[in-house]
């Protein structure tokens, strides 16, 4: 065994196609005995799964605190991630691979109570987001830990920006793309003889190491979390050396390379790691999306164009030509005409732009400009379509069945497979017919998941009026796996967990409205085990609640929930009992509750009266309807009710045939009599007509009564009630207003002779002809 093993440090950008291709070539050339990759060491047992059937990047390592899954961190990997290619090489070659970053137990303990952009407690930086430090600020405040001290600024060198400025580039990202990502592996040697791609890749990494070493010489030493991370990397590297590996390859962020090459005493690294708080963690693989690799998502190591980078990595031969072909395919799918000649011209334009800008390969800017000019005809809408479908992309990865999962995750995977609900990043709509057992089971699953806080499906407005159809939009997001792990505390299956979750919510509900909303959610979710407990809580809360407005707000929701009993064959006996009790209490308590109301309170009560009236009509119980009509009649007969309430109650009784037209006309006559206040009369009319104007259209007596009252108002009273009347009549549909105007014209009798024309037509004729010419009329 040699005294000094070969240690090859491959400094990379964490998500770059050129870096990934160079890492793979370098490893195949070096053939190391062990590969160390930046990542949480707890995930070491999961490395063999990278080559398992069903593992499709993008994926992410998910580490979470046991017993508190909401505290979690993700380490994403794409096919074009250098770390992913290093892991795939090691597993394929049968050599050991290990993660060498700070343990997730330390990361999660330090981030307790913090929230990242990808979810509660998510590490916002991700795996080595500092491989290329932030390109914007050269000076930033200390981020915690052992630093320069309070109130001082820690100078941070941006190595890519420095190298880009040295090379004459204003944009650091563009320089990195030209030098690393777009060039790939260099071609023949200066002598012209064939060159080993792996040897050339190793030279690239040596040049990166040399540049980073020079830049770190003038930078302040790392502190806090960064110092601990590099100490953990060196500790893992020393352990590999002690095990006797002759050749060791380390794939890490380029900025860390000089720190791993430095001769730092082991005792110093031990002191840096000593005393760091730790928590018990669990680690697994979860699917990820290209969209979550984007820099706009807040991910610290994000890239601007995941879809473009994936294309560069998977299309090493003629990437520009293949990209333009894909752009043409996207546009044709949307019905936009694109010819082969246009594709050829767009490729030529992209290459010409790259040559003018002295770029080794047409980049995303060049291909986008070429596509905009040639394929999209300058349409920004078409460019945005291409950007969403290709540049970003919403590819969702997959993990194999052997991946560690909580039982709830496995149950959902099995159900989704059986019900043919694929997990996709892009939203897909499903139109479910609840009369079909297959669709009924799909609906139940989606409703149960929503109870568990996993909003995989979003309900959409149904196109029909029947209760047997539902429309859903399904889109899977990576954080749903965290939600499933957290919901696993309620049960091992989706049905059991949703039942326990509903019972738990019923015990913690603070109002009757929350309980009725929960009952509405339990019925479509088909949770017979939870419904009795929920309804028991509803009954107990309703018995203690003496506010009639709360009962009126709860009743329509419960009656609406009863409708699911027809299609879903759900036992709603307990729900019906509570509905009957609430209906009786509402009918008894409504008349006293409507006394002494102001305008706002009367308008709020009016909405609840309409809702209860519609709900009891839907319930179709003669006993309840008789009781309700009696309550409305009692309310209208009470002294001085609010005009809005009195008018609306009169209309409801008239529509239900509980009041004759003659009696309704008499009530209206009294309400709009000259002795009645104008405001009260206007409110009465507003309440009476809030259901629509068809009643006035078909009842000339009522229409004549309203017309007589309105035309007899003095000017000052008419001005006072006009805003109320305009608000009322503005709610009528246009055909109803047109029909009402026709009826009013008929009431007015024969038309009066037209008034004499006040204008001198002879003098106005030249002006009329000029205006007609301006407006384009041929005949003045």
pLDDT tops 60 at residue 135: no
Sorted by sequence, the CB contacts under 8 Å of residue 469 that are 6+ apart come out as 431, 432, 433, 434, 462, 463
pLDDT tops 90 at residue 52: yes
pLDDT, tens digit (0-9, with 9 covering 90-100), for 715-747:
777 777 777 777 777 777 788 778 877 877 776
Q: Quick one: average pLDDT of 164-179?
A: 78
Q: Which two tokens stand for residue 701?
A: 């007596």
**Separation between Cα atoms, residue 502 and residue 495, nearest integer Å:** 11
Q: Which two tokens stand for residue 604?
A: 């709020």
Q: In what order do the strands lie in the sheet with 97-99?
A: 6-12, 247-253, 34-37, 97-99
Contact 74, 60 (CB under 8 A): yes
- What is the dihedral sign for C-alpha 702, 708, 710, 716? negative
pLDDT tops 50 at residue 132: no
Instruction: Give the CB-side neighbour count of residue 3, counting CA atoms within 13 A.
Output: 0
pLDDT of amino acid 750: 57
Q: In terms of pLDDT, which residue wins out, 224 or 463?
A: 224
pLDDT, tens digit (0-9, with 9 covering 90-100), for 184-204:
544 444 455 556 778 888 888
**Separation between Cα atoms, residue 8 and residue 21, nearest integer Å:** 16
Sorted by sequence, the CB contacts under 8 Å of residue 663 that are 6+ apart come out as none
pLDDT, tens digit (0-9, with 9 covering 90-100), for 104-131:
999 888 765 443 333 333 333 333 333 3
Q: In terms of pLDDT, which residue wins out, 630 or 546?
A: 630
**Separation between Cα atoms, residue 179 and residue 142, nearest integer Å:** 31
Q: Quick one: average pLDDT of 518-524?
A: 83
Q: Which two tokens stand for residue 511?
A: 């109002």
Contact 404, 44 (CB under 8 A): no
Indicate the Cα dihedral angle 256, 261, 267, 271, nearest 10°. -10
| Element containing residue 61 per DSSP (H, E) | strand 59-65
Q: Quick one: average pLDDT of 468-497?
A: 89
Q: Which residues pair with 248 in a beta bridge?
A: 7, 34
**Separation between Cα atoms, residue 625 and residue 618, nearest integer Å:** 10
Residue 780 CA to chain centroid, in angstroms? 59
Q: Quick one: average pLDDT of 622-627?
A: 85
**Separation between Cα atoms, residue 601 and residue 620, nearest integer Å:** 29
Put residue 337 in one of left, alpha, beta given phi > 0 → left and psi -120 to 50 → alpha. beta
Q: Which two tokens stand for residue 264?
A: 């730092």
Lowest mean pLDDT among 190-194, 339-343, 498-502, 672-676: 190-194
Q: Which of 581, 408, 552 is nearest to 480 (CA)?
A: 408
What mean pLDDT value characterizes the chain? 80
Q: Quick one: average pLDDT of 33-43?
A: 94
pLDDT class of 565 with cuts at 50, 70, 90: low
pLDDT of amino acid 353: 92
From first CA to last CA, the distance across the chain in angstroms is: 107
pLDDT of amino acid 131: 35
| Element containing residue 97 per DSSP (H, E) | strand 97-99
Contact 442, 419 (CB under 8 A): yes
Q: In terms of pLDDT, which residue wins out, 663 or 192?
A: 663
| Continuous H helices in 334-406 | 340-356, 364-370, 380-386
Q: In terms of pLDDT, which residue wins out, 135 or 606?
A: 606
pLDDT tops 80 at residue 474: yes
ω into 58 cis (within 30 of 0): yes
Contacts by residues 361-366 (CB-CB < 8 Å, ≥ 24 positions apart): 361/182, 361/183, 361/319, 361/320, 362/320, 363/174, 363/177, 363/178, 363/182, 364/304, 364/305, 364/308, 364/391
Count Cβ neighbours within 10 Å for each residue of 624-650 and write b for 16 or more, e otherwise.
bbebbbebbebbbeeeebbbbbbbbbb
Q: Quick one: average pLDDT of 680-707?
A: 73
Lowest mean pLDDT among 115-129, 217-231, 458-472, 644-658: 115-129
| Element containing residue 414 per DSSP (H, E) | helix 407-418
Task: Specify the pairing of strand 59-65 against strand 428-433.
Answer: unpaired
pLDDT of amino acid 232: 92
Contact 8, 205 (CB under 8 A): yes
How do the residues of the chain divide into helix, strand and coil, expressed in percent and rounded to 5? 55, 10, 35
Q: Which two tokens stand for residue 726?
A: 């305009």
Q: Which two tokens stand for residue 647?
A: 């008018």
pLDDT, tens digit (0-9, with 9 covering 90-100), for 533-551:
888 888 787 777 777 787 8
Q: Is the pTM of this model over 0.75?
A: no
Most confident of 306-315, 381-390, 438-447: 438-447
pLDDT class of 756 with cuts at 50, 70, 90: low
pLDDT, tens digit (0-9, with 9 covering 90-100), for 241-262:
999 898 999 999 888 999 998 8
Lowest mean pLDDT among 26-30, 201-205, 274-278, 641-645: 641-645
- What is the dihedral sign for C-alpha 47, 53, 55, 57? positive
Q: In what order do the strands lie in the sheet with 68-77?
A: 68-77, 59-65, 281-287
Q: Which two tokens stand for residue 236?
A: 């893992």
pLDDT class of 140 with cuts at 50, 70, 90: very low
What Rg value do the Cα atoms of the chain yield, rounded? 37
Q: Quick one: average pLDDT of 144-158?
A: 39
φ/ψ of 26, rounded to 5, equals -65, -40
**Separation between Cα atoms, residue 571 and residue 81, nearest integer Å:** 53
Task: Specify the pairing of strand 247-253 against strand 34-37.
Answer: parallel
- What is the dihedral sign for C-alpha 312, 313, 315, 317? positive
pLDDT, tens digit (0-9, with 9 covering 90-100), for 394-409:
788 889 988 988 899 9
Q: What is the DSSP letter of 488?
A: G
Q: In terms of pLDDT, which residue wins out, 345 or 690?
A: 345
Residue 336 CA to chain centroid, in angstroms? 29
Q: Which two tokens stand for residue 593?
A: 């509750």
pLDDT class of 567 with cuts at 50, 70, 90: low
């Amino acid at each position: 065994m040699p005294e000094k093993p070969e240690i090859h440090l491959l400094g990379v950008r964490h998500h770059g196609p050129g870096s990934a291709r160079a890492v793979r070539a370098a490893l195949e050339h070096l053939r190391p005995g062990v590969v160390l990759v930046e990542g949480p060491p707890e995930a070491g047992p999961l490395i063999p799964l990278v080559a398992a059937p069903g593992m499709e990047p993008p994926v992410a390592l998910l580490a979470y605190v046991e017993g508190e899954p909401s505290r979690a961190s993700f380490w994403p990997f794409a096919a074009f991630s250098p770390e992913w290619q290093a892991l795939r090489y090691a597993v394929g070659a049968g050599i050991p691979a290990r993660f060498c970053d700070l343990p997730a137990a330390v990361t999660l303990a330090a981030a307790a109570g913090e929230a990242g952009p990808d979810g509660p407690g998510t590490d916002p930086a991700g795996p080595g987001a500092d491989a290329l430090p932030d390109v914007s600020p050269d000076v930033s405040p200390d981020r915690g830990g052992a630093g320069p001290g309070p109130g001082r600024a820690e100078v941070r060198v941006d190595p890519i920006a420095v190298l880009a400025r040295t090379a004459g580039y204003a944009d650091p990202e563009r320089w990195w793309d030209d030098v690393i990502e777009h060039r790939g592996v260099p071609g023949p040697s200066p002598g012209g003889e064939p060159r080993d791609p792996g040897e050339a890749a190793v030279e690239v990494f040596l040049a990166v190491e040399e540049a980073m070493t020079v830049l770190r010489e003038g930078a302040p030493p790392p502190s806090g979390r960064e110092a601990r991370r590099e100490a953990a990397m060196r500790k893992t590297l020393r352990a590999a050396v002690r095990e006797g590996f002759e050749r060791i390859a380390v794939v890490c962020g380029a900025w860390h390379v000089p720190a791993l090459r430095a001769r730092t005493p082991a005792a110093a690294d031990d002191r840096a790691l000593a005393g760091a708080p730790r928590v018990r963690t669990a680690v697994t693989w979860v699917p990820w999306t290209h969209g979550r690799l984007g820099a706009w998502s807040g991910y610290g190591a994000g890239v601007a164009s995941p879809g473009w980078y994936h294309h560069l990595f998977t299309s090493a031969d003629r990437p520009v030509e293949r990209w333009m072909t894909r752009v043409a395919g996207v546009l044709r799918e949307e019905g936009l005409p694109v010819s082969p000649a246009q594709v050829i011209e767009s490729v030529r334009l992209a290459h010409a732009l790259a040559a003018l800008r002295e770029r080794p390969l047409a980049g995303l800017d060049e291909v986008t400009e070429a596509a905009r000019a040639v394929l999209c005809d300058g349409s920004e809408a078409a460019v945005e379509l291409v950007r969403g479908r290709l540049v970003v992309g919403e590819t969702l990865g997959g993990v194999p069945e052997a991946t560690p999962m909580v039982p709830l995750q496995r149950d959902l995977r099995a159900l989704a497979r059986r019900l043919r609900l694929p997990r996709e990043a892009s939203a897909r709509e499903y139109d479910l017919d609840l009369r079909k057992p297959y669709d009924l089971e799909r609906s139940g699953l989606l409703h149960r998941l929503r109870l568990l806080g996993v909003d995989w499906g979003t309900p959409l407005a149904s196109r029909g009026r029947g209760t047997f159809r539902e429309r859903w939009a399904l889109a899977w997001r990576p954080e749903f796996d965290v939600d499933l792990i957290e919901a696993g505390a309620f049960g091992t299956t989706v049905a059991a967990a949703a039942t326990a979750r509903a019972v738990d919510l019923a015990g913690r509900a603070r109002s009757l409205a929350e309980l009725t909303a929960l009952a509405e959610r339990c019925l479509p979710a088909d949770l017979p085990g939870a419904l009795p407990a929920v309804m028991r809580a509803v009954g107990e809360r309703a018995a203690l609640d003496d506010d009639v407005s709360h009962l009126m707000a709860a009743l329509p929701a419960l009656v609406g929930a009863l409708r699911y009993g027809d299609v879903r064959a759900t036992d709603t006996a307990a729900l019906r009992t509570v509905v009957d009790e609430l209906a009786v209490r509402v009918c008894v308590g409504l008349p006293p509750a409507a006394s002494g109301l102001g305008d706002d309170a009367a308008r709020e009560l009016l909405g609840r009266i309409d809702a209860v009236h519609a709900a009891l009509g839907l319930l179709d119980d003669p006993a309840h309807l008789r009781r309700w009509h009696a309550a409305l009649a009692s309310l209208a007969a009470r002294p001085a009710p609010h005009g809005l309430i009195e008018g609306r109650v009169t209309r409801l009784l008239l529509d239900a045939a509980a009041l004759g037209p003659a009696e309704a006309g008499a009530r209206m006559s009294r309400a709009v009599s000259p002795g009645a206040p104008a405001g009260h009369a206007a409110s009465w009319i507003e309440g009476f007509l809030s259901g629509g104007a068809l009643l006035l259209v078909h009842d000339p007596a009522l229409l004549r009564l309203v017309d007589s009252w309105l035309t007899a108002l003095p000017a000052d009273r008419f001005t006072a009630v006009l805003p109320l009347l305009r608000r009322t009549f503005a709610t009528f549909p246009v055909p109803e207003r047109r029909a009402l105007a026709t009826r009013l014209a008929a009431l007015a009798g024969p038309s009066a002779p037209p008034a004499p024309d006040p204008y001198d037509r002879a003098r106005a004729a030249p002006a009329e002809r000029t205006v007609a010419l301006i407006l384009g009329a041929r005949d003045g």
